[in-house]
Amino acid sequence: MKFGTKVIHAGIKPDPASGAIMTPIYQTSTYVQASPGEHKGYEYARTQNPTRTVLENNLAALENGVAGICFSSGMAAMDAVLKLLQPGDEIIATNDLYGGSYRLITTIYEKFGLKGHFIDMSDVKAVSSKINEKTKLIWIETPTNPMLNIIDVKAICKVAQKKGILTCVDNTFASPYLQTPIDMGADIVLHSATKYLGGHSDVVLGALVVKDEELAEKLYFIQNSSGAVPGPQDCFLILRGIKTLHLRMERSCKNAKRIAKYLNKHPKVGKVYYPGFKSHPNHEIAKKQMNDFGGMISFDLTDDDYDVAQKVLSNTKLFSLAESLGGVESLIGHPASMTHASIPREERLKVGLTDSLIRLSVGIEDADDLIEDLEKALVNI
């Protein structure tokens, strides 16, 4: 089955009870048993819920894995992965990482004896040289946030596999429309379904997809034991969002390509970070492992000033100033004052995250209007 069919049909059947074509929202906490232990596969809603099961099966199909496991948020999904580890274990992670992921590894799990090493993973050798006997998990995020570096998933998973180290790829920025990490050798794929999968900025949900049954069993056990499960209404909304994932991604990628080209020629714009440019340092890997270059763009200003950047952010009308990404509407953000404010300035500058760096999540509006909006915002600085 091709991707555009999978999003609508994989794991989804009309409701057996009524024939409803849309998966019903099973708003229940428990299920009646005919006699003790004699039931229809559902006992208690933390453990299983039919709406959630459909979403989990659909996600497994989209990511070419064997099972999907859903959580109340992307961070809850990551929390479950970290619970596979033991005190003393070490994690190697992307240095240009989602802030919440960095916080979970350091602030929360360091006190339980885990240790994180954060490195530039676009250099595969740097990953190999950081591995020791305590390394139990390699955490990849690609494209990275906000610098949009591309990490060679296949090369890193190969190194990890040889040493029996678990790999998890946060596929939130790309979505399975652009890349399927399990096909590149990853053990686990993570999604903040809050972003592209849901696609309408109206729900928070997380998911894991795994490559084998053994991992699925372990993670279902953690899901049920810790209990950070999503409600059925939220599962329904993600299922509904996924049905148009391919169309939204196609449009968002197309818009981003036009906007990146426009920004690249603009006299007030400094550097444009977009993996679709031939000049992007990881363009060849992006071409190899992704079906397109995504809907995210970062750029800074020739007048590299914190306040000037903030002016651009207040000037746009269609691009809304907000955290998050991946919705139908375009968003604009300022990493230095928003998502990455907790990182010391010198550290930020080292990776190119300048004071004027602006991040765009390009939505599916008409590209002409989006460009006009940016033009008006840039003229007035």
Ligand X SMILES: *Cc1c(COP(=O)(O)O)cnc(C)c1O
**Residues acting as catalytic residues:** 46, 98, 170, 195
d(CA 150, CA 169): 12
For the bound state, the minimum distance from the C-beta of residue 189 to ligand X, rounded and expressed in Å, comes to 12
Query: Using CB under 6 A, which of the segments 54-62, 110-118, 169-177, 231-239 binds ligand X?
Result: 169-177
State in angstroms the smallest separation of the CB of 17 from ligand X.
31
204 is a contact residue toward ligand X (CB under 6 A): yes
| 23 or 142: CB nearest ligand X | 142
Note whether 192 binds ligand X by CB under 6 A: yes
Q: Does 102 bind ligand X (CB under 6 A)?
A: no
Stretch that binds ligand X, among 167-175, 176-184, 241-249, 262-270 (CB under 6 A): 167-175
Question: For tokens 């339980």, what's the residue?
Answer: 112
Name the minimum Å distance from CB 191 to ligand X: 8
Residue 206 binding ligand X, by CB under 6 A: yes
Residues 70-89 that bind ligand X (CB under 6 A): 73-75
- The tally of CA atoms less than 13 A away on the side-chain side of residue 158 is 7
Binding to ligand X by residue 142, rule CB under 6 A?
no
171 binds ligand X (CB under 6 A): no
Least distance to ligand X, CB of residue 20, Å: 28
Report the residue number, 315 or 326, with the smaller CB distance to ligand X: 326
Looking at 195, 211, 251, 359, which residue binds ligand X (CB under 6 A)? 195
Quick one: three-class SS letters along the chain? CCHHHHHHHCCCCCCCCCCCCCCCCCCCCECCCCECCECCCCCECCCCCHHHHHHHHHHHHHCCCCEEEEECCHHHHHHHHHCCCCCCCEEEEECCCCHHHHHHHHHHCHHHCCEEEEECCCCHHHHHHHCCCCEEEEEEECCCCCCCCCCCHHHHHHHHHHCCCEEEEECCCCHHHHCCHHHHCCCEEEEECCCCCCCCCCCCCEEEEECCHHHHHHHHHHHHHHCCCCCHHHHHHHHHHHCCHHHHHHHHHHHHHHHHHHHHHCCCEEEEECCCCCCCCCHHHHHHHCCCCCCEEEEEECCCCHHHHHHHHHHCCCCEECCCCCCCCCEEECCCCCCCCCCCHHHHHHCCCCCCCEEEECCCCCHHHHHHHHHHHHHCC
Which x/- pattern, by CB under 6 A, does the window 19-58 give for ligand X? ----------------------------------------
170 binds ligand X (CB under 6 A): yes
C-alpha pair distances (Å), 65 with each of 34, 163, 168, 221, 256: 34, 22, 13, 18, 29
For the bound state, the minimum distance from the C-beta of residue 275 to ligand X, rounded and expressed in Å, comes to: 15
Q: Residue 7 Cβ, how far from ligand X at the closest point, in Å?
A: 20
| CB of 1 or CB of 341, closer to ligand X | 341
State the minimum distance, in angstroms, from the CB of residue 233 to ligand X: 16
Q: Out of 53, 95, 122, 172, which residue is the one contacting ligand X (CB under 6 A)?
A: 172
Contact status: 327 vs ligand X (CB under 6 A):
no
Task: Give 73 or 135: the residue with its C-beta nearer to ligand X.
Answer: 73
Task: Select from 8, 64, 100, 371 the one that contacts ligand X (CB under 6 A).
Answer: 100
Q: Which amino acid is at 4?
A: G
Nearer CB in complex with ligand X: 141/187 = 141
| Closer of 144 and 255 to ligand X (Cβ) | 144
Q: Pick the closer one to ligand X by CB: 189 or 269.
A: 189
Burial class of 381 by CB neighbour count within 10 A (0 to 12, 13 to 18, 19+)? middle
- Tell me: does residue 194 bind ligand X (CB under 6 A): yes
For residue 75, which of 109, 31, 124, 38 has the smallest C-alpha distance?
109
Q: Which residues bind ligand X (CB under 6 A)?
A: 73-75, 98, 100-101, 141, 145, 170, 172-173, 192, 194-195, 204, 206
